Amino acid sequence: PRPLRILGIDTSCDDTGVGVVELAPDGRVTVLANRVWSQAVHAQYGGVMPELASREHVERIDQIMGDALHEAGLSVSDIGAVAATSGPGLVGALLVGLMYGKGLAQALNVPFHAAHHLEGHIFAAASEAELRAPFLALVVSGGHTHLFDVPRGGEYVLVGATRDDAAGEAFDKVARLAGLGYPGGPAISEAATRGDPQAVPFKEPLKGQSGFDFSFSGLKTAALLAHRAGATPENLAASFQRAAVQTLVNTTVRAAQATGRSTVVVSGGVAANHALREAFAATGLHVVFPGRGLNTDNGAMIALAGAAAIQAGRPASALDGGATAYAP
Ligand code: KG4
Ligand code: ZN
């Protein structure tokens, strides 16, 4: 048996991501390449323009695939399987990567695997440790704040989610009102190192709930009021980050106790946050984070999800069907 090289594609939003992973015969996975083209055209509009995103993906995807193969030291004929995100995301943007991936798989005569974007975020952590169910998975990004229980491989039970803003969205919005720039997550994290986390007494959202949901809109409003009352950007950043980290960690720890899980995967853009990583490390749970460059949207995480599907013996996906019909 020879190692299988899997090419993964993600074009769900405004990043064109292509990655390559190697699945060894003993089941070990290694990331060989991870290239992401982050579209800059949207900045002037203050948000992602779906039609522009689709067009940019069309223009860039060939080049990004070439770069990824070059980084991996492979030629396209070395690819033994292709995976692409089929949803959720912007439908036009998704279609570009999905159809590109299907076309490539057909041309190479290799299996194609449709991947769920969130399964990709979760399996990004497989770059660091072997992920074997059961475990809990907290996905915290600009669009998602979802807590899943994974009792068996391929089975995802949603145990909690945000009732309003996503965690990353809250970081972005608080950064904007404090004048800290975009993207907000890294800006808040940096400014927080110079602020007092106790300066603004933010309350933990949904404290006392019996479930495992999240809410960030109250923190956002409280941050606006504190800003108007004269809180410095540094103190606002440090205090907001403290409260956001607290609610994410406390809710996840309670869910771990309720389900009896001892392993937790924390992934998505917000998982890059240092304070969040430190707080999770202090819980005593076995916490696995994605490796460098694998937290935010990318293609390697989709290749890793493809590797997990192949290892689990899931059949390849059909080459017909649209972007929103997720078929594992
Ligand atoms: O996963 P991602 O690239 O895109 C989505 O699928 O949404 O996540 C992007 C989000 C942004 O909201 C960004 O502000 C946040 O992740 N983020 C961070 C950090 N780095 C990125 N949030 C907190 N701390 C960070 N260091
Ligand atoms: Zn994402």
Q: How far is the CA of 284 from the centre of ligand 1 (A)?
A: 25
Number of the ligand 1 atom closest to the C-alpha atom of 144: 7
Q: How far is the CA of 119 from the centre of ligand 2 (A)?
A: 10
CATH architecture of the domain with range 4-125+295-311: 2-Layer Sandwich (3.30)
Burial bucket for residue 298 (CB in 10 Å: 0-12, 13-18, 19+)? buried
pLDDT reported for residue 327: 44
- Kindly give, in sequence order, each residue whose CB lies less than 8 Å from that of residue 60, ignoring residues fewer than 6 positions away: 16, 37
pLDDT reported for residue 1: 82
Name the nearest CA neighbour of 279 among 312, 253, 307.
253
Question: Three-state DSSP class for 266?
Answer: strand
Contact 179, 168 (CB under 8 A): no
Beta strands in the chain (DSSP E): 4-10, 15-23, 29-38, 81-87, 112-116, 135-140, 145-150, 157-161, 263-267, 286-288
Say if residue 50 is preceded by a cis peptide, omega within 30 of 0: no
Say if residue 183 is preceded by a cis peptide, omega within 30 of 0: yes
Look at ligand 1, atom 19, and give the residue with the nearest C-alpha: 185
Q: Does the fold of domain 133-288 match that of domain 4-125+295-311?
A: yes
Residue from 13, 138, 165, 296 whose mutation best tests the ligand 1 pocket (most atoms within 8 A of CB) = 296
Dist CA 309 CA 300 (whole Å) = 14
Chain center to CA of 97: 17
Q: Where are the domains of the chain?
A: 4-125+295-311, 133-288
pLDDT reported for residue 189: 98
- Kindly give, in sequence order, each residue whose CB lies less than 8 Å from that of residue 287, ignoring residues fewer than 6 positions away: 263, 264, 265, 266, 280, 281
> Is there an atom of ligand 1 within 6 Å of 246 CB?
no
Kindly calculate the radius of gyration of the chain based on its CA atoms and give it in whole angstroms: 20
Q: How far is the CA of 200 from the centre of ligand 2 (A)?
A: 30
> Is there an atom of ligand 1 within 6 Å of 269 CB?
yes
Could you give the C-alpha distances from 76 to 4, 105, 119, 263, in angstroms and in order? 13, 11, 25, 36
Assembly ipTM? 0.98
> Is there an atom of ligand 1 within 6 Å of 165 CB?
no
pLDDT along the chain (328 residues), means of 10: 96 96 96 96 81 96 98 98 96 96 97 96 96 97 95 94 97 94 90 98 94 97 97 98 98 98 97 98 97 96 97 90 49
Dist CA 278 CA 289 (whole Å) = 11
- Kindly give, in sequence order, each residue whose CB lies less than 8 Å from that of residue 94, ignoring residues fewer than 6 positions away: 11, 12, 85, 86, 87, 323, 324
Residue 140 labelled as part of a binding site: yes
Burial bucket for residue 152 (CB in 10 Å: 0-12, 13-18, 19+)? exposed
Residue 117 labelled as part of a binding site: yes
Per CATH, the homologous superfamily of domain 133-288 is: ATPase, nucleotide binding domain (3.30.420.40)
pLDDT reported for residue 321: 63
Number of the ligand 1 atom closest to the C-alpha atom of 168: 12
pLDDT reported for residue 42: 83
> Is there an atom of ligand 1 within 6 Å of 297 CB?
yes
Residue from 123, 141, 173, 278 whose mutation best tests the ligand 1 pocket (most atoms within 8 A of CB) = 141
Number of the ligand 1 atom closest to the C-alpha atom of 141: 8
Look at ligand 1, atom 22, and give the residue with the nearest C-alpha: 185
pTM for this model (two decimals): 0.94
Dist CA 142 CA 268 (whole Å) = 8
Q: How far is the CA of 268 from the centre of ligand 1 (A)?
A: 7
